[in-house]
């Protein structure tokens, strides 16, 4: 990733343009409604997101009973209304039989995707879930090579792939997966920091939506280390237009954590 940053700076081009420059703005979502929060806390965070103009929200499911999860989903849809995208992240907590039942119960709530309904190596289980529901299945954050994504594609175990350049061999490998996905009519979202993935999604034609991974508000340490916050405006974020990744360290923010 650092070498691609250097390459962009040598070429005096932002990375997304160096990689193809398909667009300069990407639809974005945020994660709200976490496990461990009670209904009142979930409602409060969802309402706050809507006030801030968020147009796509992902909430967590999978640690409660299916009936309880369904109730949280129903409540979330009522709070955010019909025009905001709602994704559900199960974080591999269901077995495929449970995921099939859960999906059948929440289809009526207009779900944008269900993420990681089963364990990442349960490709057959994910395939069975995908075949059982009209809700798109998203997965891939636990895949470390293009070969794992190849298997997901060949088995139609999802329709949205979520590679993470930080864990799967960097930007070069990410772009290979994106090309495979495009050739097979799969969408790409991402897992991991939007500071890097904004460039990658802006460079490809099959990008669906980007995860706003952290901000100075949600994670003051991680979110504050760069001056570039890439705020969501009108439901989208834009990658920096400076050369390379275009990121500038916030020296004031990192000063308290320096050693030596």
Residue 182 lies in a domain: yes
Q: How many domains does the chain have?
A: 1
| pLDDT band at 212; cut points 50, 70, 90 | confident
Whether 11 contacts 40, CB under 8 Å: no
pLDDT at 165: 97
The pLDDT of 141-155, averaged and rounded, is 96
Q: Evaluate whether residue 65 is within a structural domain.
A: yes
> Is 193 inside any structural domain?
yes
pLDDT-based confidence at 217, cuts 50/70/90? low
Residue 63 located in a structural domain: yes
Indicate the pLDDT class of residue 54, thresholds 50, 70 and 90: very high
In a domain, 191, yes or no: yes
User: What does the pLDDT read at residue 257?
Assistant: 82
Q: Which two tokens stand for residue 132?
A: 């059982």
Instruction: Provide the residue range defining the domain that includes 34.
Output: 28-212
Does 237 map to a domain? no
Q: Is the pLDDT of residue 216 over 60?
A: no
pTM of the predicted protein model: 0.93
Which CATH number belongs to the domain containing residue 201 in this structure? Answer: 3.20.20.120
47 inside domain: yes
Predicted local distance difference test score (pLDDT) of residue 187: 99
39 domain residue, yes or no: yes
């Amino acid at each position: 990733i650092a070498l691609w940053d250097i390459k962009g700076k040598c070429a005096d081009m932002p990375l997304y343009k160096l990689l193809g420059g398909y667009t300069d703005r990407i639809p974005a979502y945020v994660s709200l409604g976490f496990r461990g929060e009670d209904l009142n806390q979930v409602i409060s965070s969802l309402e706050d997101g809507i006030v801030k103009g968020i147009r796509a929200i992902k909430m967590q499911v999978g640690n409660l009973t299916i009936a309880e999860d369904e109730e949280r989903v129903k409540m979330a849809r009522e709070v955010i209304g019909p025009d905001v995208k709602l994704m559900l992240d199960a974080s591999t907590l269901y077995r495929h039989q449970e995921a099939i039942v859960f999906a059948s119960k929440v289809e009526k709530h207009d779900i944008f995707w269900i993420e990681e309904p089963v364990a990442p190596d349960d490709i057959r289980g994910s395939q069975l879930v995908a075949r059982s529901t009209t809700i798109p299945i998203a997965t891939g954050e636990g895949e470390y090579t293009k070969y794992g994504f190849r298997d997901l594609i060949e088995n139609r175990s999802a329709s949205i792939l979520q590679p993470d350049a930080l864990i799967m061999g960097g930007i070069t490998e990410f772009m290979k997966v994106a090309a495979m996905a495009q050739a097979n009519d799969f969408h790409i979202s991402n897992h991991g920091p939007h500071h890097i993935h904004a460039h990658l999604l802006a460079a490809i034609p099959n990008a669906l939506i980007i995860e706003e991974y952290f901000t100075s508000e949600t994670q003051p340490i991680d979110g504050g280390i760069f001056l570039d916050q890439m705020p969501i405006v009108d439901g989208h974020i834009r990658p920096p237009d400076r050369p390379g990744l275009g990121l500038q360290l916030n020296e004031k923010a990192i000063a308290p954590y320096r050693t030596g």
